[in-house]
């Protein structure tokens, strides 16, 4: 057997992530690799930190990119804040609230779950009731943008509830960073993590995180070591910290950091509020086309993520077969449902560089073609006109 170089097919990525990577980002990755302690790279690290602070809308000094995907960002926040025996209230309204539970339990924490229906936002009243029933809870954790359903929860209100009950607010923003309004300082978020492969138009593999000073005080006063050596921020800050002389901690993914830097430059140039508006306005265009076709959304408009659209599969339609046709015939990827929504929905992403008119019109025309060919009960010929009318 002779294995040759891998050349992937060219796809349009409109699933739950990764999203399309901007050509400027892929070009940045091809730049010469230098040492991770090279003064030029250290200077770039400072720029990455500054631009991440802008993306998160925070002045937190402990704002860094973890050299691993978003799941490592989740572990970084939980493992640094929680010690064995700590109590944490976790809100679950989809897959990733459940993953929070798994991580917290592996930290040795006592977990109190607050459950909401999939497709609904976290109920602030339930969260408050759980904190009042557990006054010794150290953390309230929730997903701001639940990727498995496309539901957005009220992070500002939930953070206030956490602080009113003397708990830290820990937030999953993997799908919201760069795509929806997110204000770490104004909302009082204490620990937050995200990923580069969603609304930042970047490649997978890095997880931006940020900790408030209140969270840092908790971390530096721990009685036990952080469970993970690699994710221990007390050690990582020797490398990512403010000092001119950086201590070796690990070999950073140099070229991936070039990619993140370029994606953050693009976000800075577009303007964070303009990026939020682009994602929302493009959602309105996609929504107009899908609804004209006769498809329905899972999440109510008030709580819907513009960058992650969960659409109900029409009766009698094999959702996996549709996705397969879209991939094979149109090189278009959309996502399947997870957990309680498996087999019932498609998840259509409009994240980062994927959030463009040409992608929307490709998705609508391809979906109409496939569903029409399968004899699905849709309104043929209406989607593109409706989407065009919704464009700004």
- pLDDT tens digits, 80-105: 999 999 999 999 999 999 999 999 99
Scored b (16 or more CB within 10 A) or e, 109-119 reads bbbbebebebb
- Tell me the whole-structure pTM to 2 decimals: 0.96
Instruction: Tell me which residue of 262, 242, 257, 275 sits closest to 207, measured CA to CA.
Output: 257
Q: What single DSSP character describes residue 25?
A: H
**pLDDT for res 243:** 64
Q: Say if CB 57 and CB 189 are below 8 A apart.
A: no
Bridge partners, residue 303, by sequence: none
Question: Per-residue DSSP letters for 26-49?
Answer: HHHHTSPP--TT-HHHHHHHHHHH
User: How many residues in the chain?
Assistant: 392
What ranges in the chain are assigned the alpha helix state H?
23-29, 39-56, 70-81, 95-106, 124-133, 155-164, 184-187, 213-220, 233-240, 254-270, 272-293, 319-330, 357-373, 383-390
Give the other-Cβ count within 10 Å of 212's Cβ: 22
- Phi first, then psi: what are they for 151, rounded to 5°? -100, 140
- Taking the C-alpha atoms of residue 310 and residue 290, their distance in angstroms, rounded to an integer, is 11
Strands 168-172 and 191-193 come out as parallel
- Taking the C-alpha atoms of residue 131 and residue 31, their distance in angstroms, rounded to an integer, is 50
CA dist list (Å): 119 to 154, 297, 312 = 14, 10, 11
Dihedral over alpha carbons 133, 134, 138, 141 (to 10 degrees): -50
- Taking the C-alpha atoms of residue 365 and residue 384, their distance in angstroms, rounded to an integer, is 7
Coil, strand or helix at 193: strand
Bridge partners, residue 49, by sequence: none
List, for the chain, all residue ranges whose pLDDT scores fall below the cut of 50.
none
Is residue 133 classed exposed, middle or buried when 0-12, 13-18 and 19+ CB atoms within 10 A define those classes? exposed
Structure tokens belonging to residue 313: 């599969």
**pLDDT for res 237:** 87
Give the other-Cβ count within 10 Å of 39's Cβ: 11
- The string of pLDDT tens digits covering residues 305-346 is 999 999 999 999 999 999 999 999 999 999 999 998 999 999
**pLDDT for res 304:** 97
**pLDDT for res 46:** 94
Residue 21 exposure: Cα atoms within 13 Å on the Cβ side:
19
- Taking the C-alpha atoms of residue 275 and residue 207, their distance in angstroms, rounded to an integer, is 19
Domains contained in the chain, CATH given: 23-269 (3.40.640.10), 272-390 (3.90.1150.10)
Find where tokens 């901007």 sit: 22
- Taking the C-alpha atoms of residue 247 and residue 244, their distance in angstroms, rounded to an integer, is 10
Instruction: Tell me which residue of 270, 262, 266, 289 sits closest to 348, measured CA to CA.
Output: 289
**pLDDT for res 244:** 57
């Amino acid at each position: 057997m002779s294995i040759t170089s891998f050349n992937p097919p060219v796809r349009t990525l409109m699933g739950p992530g990764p999203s399309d990577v901007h050509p400027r980002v892929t070009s940045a990755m091809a730049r010469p690799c230098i040492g991770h302690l090279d003064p030029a790279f250290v200077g770039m690290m400072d720029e990455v930190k500054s631009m991440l602070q802008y993306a998160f809308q925070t002045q937190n000094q402990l704002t860094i990119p973890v050299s691993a995907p978003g799941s490592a960002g989740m572990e970084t926040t939980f493992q640094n804040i929680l010690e064995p025996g700590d109590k944490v209230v976790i809100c679950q309204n989809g897959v990733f609230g459940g993953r929070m539970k798994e991580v917290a339990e592996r930290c040795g924490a006592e977990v109190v779950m607050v459950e909401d229906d999939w497709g609904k936002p976290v109920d602030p009243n339930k969260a408050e009731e759980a904190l009042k029933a557990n006054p010794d809870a150290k953390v309230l954790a929730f997903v701001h943008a639940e990727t498995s359903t496309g539901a957005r929860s009220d992070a500002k209100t939930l953070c206030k509830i956490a602080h009113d009950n003397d708990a830290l607010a820990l937030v999953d923003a993997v799908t919201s960073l760069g795509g929806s309004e997110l204000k770490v300082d104004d909302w009082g978020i204490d620990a937050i993590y995200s990923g580069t492969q969603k609304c930042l138009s970047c490649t997978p593999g890095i997880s931006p995180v940020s900790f408030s000073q209140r969270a840092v005080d908790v971390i530096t006063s721990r009685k036990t070591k952080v469970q993970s050596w690699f994710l221990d921020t007390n050690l990582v800050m020797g490398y990512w910290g403010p000092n001119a002389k950086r201590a070796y901690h690990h070999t950073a993914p140099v070229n991936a950091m070039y990619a993140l830097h370029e994606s953050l430059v693009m976000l800075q140039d577009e303007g964070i509020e303009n990026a939020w508006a682009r994602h929302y306005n493009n959602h309105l265009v996609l929504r107009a086309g899908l609804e004209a076709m006769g498809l329905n959304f899972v999440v109510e408009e008030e709580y819907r993520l513009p960058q992650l659209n969960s659409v109900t599969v029409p009766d009698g339609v094999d959702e996996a077969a549709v996705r397969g046709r879209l991939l094979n015939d149109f090189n278009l990827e959309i996502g399947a449902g997870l957990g309680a929504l498996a087999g019932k929905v498609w998840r259509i992403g409009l994240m980062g560089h994927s959030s463009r008119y040409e992608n929307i019109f490709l998705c609508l025309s391809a979906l109409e073609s496939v569903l029409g060919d399968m004899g699905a009960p849709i309104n043929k010929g209406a989607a593109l006109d409706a989407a065009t009318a919704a464009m700004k």
